[in-house]
Amino acid sequence: MGRNRATLADVARRAGLSKTAASMVLNGREGTRLSAEAHQRVFAAAEELGYRPNLAARSLRTRKTATIAFVSDIVATTRFAGDLIRGALDAARERDHVLLITETQGDATFEQYAIEAVLDRQVDGVIYAAMATRRLSVPAAILGGPVVLLNATSPDGLPSVVPDDEGAGRSVAAALLELGHRDAIALIGRNRLKEDDPEVSLAASARLHGIRQTLDEADVSLLAECFCTEWLPEHGYAAMRGLLSKPKRPSAVICMNDRLAFGAYQALGEAGLTVPEDISVISFDDDPIAAWLRPSLATTALPHEQMGRRAVELLLDGGVAEPALVGMPLRRRRSLAPPAG
Amino acid sequence: MGRNRATLADVARRAGLSKTAASMVLNGREGTRLSAEAHQRVFAAAEELGYRPNLAARSLRTRKTATIAFVSDIVATTRFAGDLIRGALDAARERDHVLLITETQGDATFEQYAIEAVLDRQVDGVIYAAMATRRLSVPAAILGGPVVLLNATSPDGLPSVVPDDEGAGRSVAAALLELGHRDAIALIGRNRLKEDDPEVSLAASARLHGIRQTLDEADVSLLAECFCTEWLPEHGYAAMRGLLSKPKRPSAVICMNDRLAFGAYQALGEAGLTVPEDISVISFDDDPIAAWLRPSLATTALPHEQMGRRAVELLLDGGVAEPALVGMPLRRRRSLAPPAG
DNA sequence: ATGCTCTGCTAAATCAGTTTAGCGACCACT
DNA sequence: AGTGGTCGCTAAACTGATTTAGCAGAGCAT
Domain for residue A255, yes or no? yes
Q: State whether the beta carbon of B193 lies below 7 angstroms from any atom of strand D.
A: no
Domain for residue B332, yes or no? no
Report the sign of the C-alpha dihedral through residues A173, A175, A177, A180, in that order: negative
pLDDT of residue B90: 94
pLDDT of residue B78: 65
The answer to whether residues A289 and A207 belong to one domain is yes
Instruction: Round and report the angstrom distance from CA (B21) to C1' (C12).
Output: 14
- According to DSSP, the residues that pair with A134 across neighbouring strands are A152
| Strand D nucleotides within 7 Å of a protein CB | 7-21
**Residues with Cβ < 8 Å from A207, sequence gap 6 or more?**
A165, A166, A168, A169, A172, A256, A284
Asked if B56 reaches chain A (Cβ–Cβ under 8 Å), the answer is yes
Band of the pLDDT at B44, cuts 50, 70, 90? Answer: very high
The radius of gyration of chain A's CA atoms, rounded to the nearest angstrom, is 26
The answer to whether residues A319 and A203 belong to one domain is no
CA distance A289 to chain B (A): 8
Query: Is there a contact between B65 and A54 if contact means CB atoms under 8 Å apart?
Result: no
Asked if A303 reaches chain B (Cβ–Cβ under 8 Å), the answer is no
Asked if B308 reaches chain A (Cβ–Cβ under 8 Å), the answer is no
Q: Residue B210 and residue B164: Cα distance in Å, rounded?
A: 10
CA distance A277 to chain B (A): 16
Domain for residue B334, yes or no? no
User: Rounded mean pLDDT of B131-143?
Assistant: 91
The answer to whether residues A193 and A262 belong to one domain is yes
The answer to whether residues B147 and B186 belong to one domain is no
Give pLDDT tens digits for B287-331: 999 999 999 999 999 999 999 999 999 999 887 778 899 999 999
Instruction: Round and report the angstrom distance from CA (A13) to C1' (C22).
Output: 22
Instruction: List C-alpha distances in Å: A240 to A252, A332, B85, B253.
Output: 11, 22, 36, 30
pLDDT of residue B29: 87
Asked if B65 reaches chain A (Cβ–Cβ under 8 Å), the answer is yes
Nearest to A289 among B121, B125, B289 (CB): B289
Residue A24: give its domain's CATH number: 1.10.260.40
Say how many domains are in chain A.
3
Domain for residue B226, yes or no? yes
Domain for residue B34, yes or no? yes
The residue of chain B nearest to residue A5, with distances taken between CA atoms, is B120
DSSP state, residue A308:
H
| Phi, psi angles (nearest 5°) of residue A264 | -60, -40
Q: How many contacts (CB atoms, under 8 Å) link A and B?
A: 162
Give pLDDT tens digits for B160-208: 999 999 999 999 999 999 999 999 999 999 999 999 999 999 999 999 9
Instruction: List C-alpha distances in Å: B75 to A170, B70, B90, B309.
Output: 32, 10, 17, 17
| Cβ atoms of A85 and B31 closer than 8 Å | no
C-alpha count within 13 angstroms, C-beta hemisphere, residue B190: 11
Measured N-to-C along each axis, helices A108-120 and B80-94 cross at an angle, to the nearest 10 degrees, of 80
Q: Which residues from chain A sit within 8 angstroms of residue B1, using beta carbons?
A: 119, 122-126, 144-146
| Strand C nucleotides within 7 Å of a protein CB | 7-12, 14-21
pLDDT of residue A3: 61
pLDDT of residue B323: 86
Candidates A61, A66, A23; CA nearest to A42 is A23
**Residues with Cβ < 8 Å from A341, sequence gap 6 or more?**
none
The residue of chain B nearest to residue A74, with distances taken between CA atoms, is B86
The residue of chain A nearest to residue B76, with distances taken between CA atoms, is A82
Q: State whether the beta carbon of B23 lies below 7 angstroms from any atom of strand D.
A: yes
Residue B245: give its domain's CATH number: 3.40.50.2300
Is B341 exposed, middle or buried, given 0-12, 13-18 or 19+ CB atoms closer than 10 A? exposed
Give pLDDT tens digits for B84-115: 999 999 999 999 999 999 999 889 999 999 99
Instruction: Round and report the angstrom distance from CA (B284) to C1' (C14).
Output: 55
Percent of chain B residues past pLDDT 70, beyond the cut = 97
Domain for residue A39, yes or no? yes
pLDDT of residue A229: 96
Nearest to A76 among B83, B259, B289 (CB): B83
The answer to whether residues B289 and B176 belong to one domain is yes
Average pLDDT, chain A: 94
Q: Residue B309 and residue B123: Cα distance in Å, rounded?
A: 18
The answer to whether residues A187 and A282 belong to one domain is yes
The answer to whether residues B137 and B242 belong to one domain is no
The radius of gyration of chain B's CA atoms, rounded to the nearest angstrom, is 26
The answer to whether residues A173 and A192 belong to one domain is yes
Band of the pLDDT at B156, cuts 50, 70, 90? Answer: confident
Asked if B71 reaches chain A (Cβ–Cβ under 8 Å), the answer is no
The answer to whether residues A28 and A100 belong to one domain is no
Asked if A122 reaches chain B (Cβ–Cβ under 8 Å), the answer is yes
Asked if A176 reaches chain B (Cβ–Cβ under 8 Å), the answer is no
The answer to whether residues A91 and A155 belong to one domain is yes
The answer to whether residues A258 and A179 belong to one domain is yes
pLDDT of B336 over the 90 cut: yes
Q: Residue A207 and residue A200: Cα distance in Å, rounded?
A: 14
pLDDT of residue A144: 87
| Cβ atoms of A187 and A211 closer than 8 Å | yes
- Which 251-290 residues of chain B touch chain A by CB within 8 A? 259, 262-263, 266, 269, 288-289
The residue of chain B nearest to residue A84, with distances taken between CA atoms, is B76
pLDDT of residue B170: 98
The answer to whether residues B170 and B135 belong to one domain is no
Q: State whether the beta carbon of A27 lies below 7 angstroms from any atom of strand C.
A: yes
Domain for residue B337, yes or no? no
- According to DSSP, the residues that pair with A334 across neighbouring strands are none
Which domain, by its residues, includes A277? 165-301
- Which 84-103 residues of chain B touch chain A by CB within 8 A? 85-86, 89, 93, 96, 98-103
Domain for residue A62, yes or no? no
pLDDT of residue B152: 94
Low-confidence ranges of chain A (pLDDT < 70): 1-3, 75-79, 341
pLDDT of residue B32: 83
Tell how many helices (H) and how many strands (E) occur in chain A: 13, 12
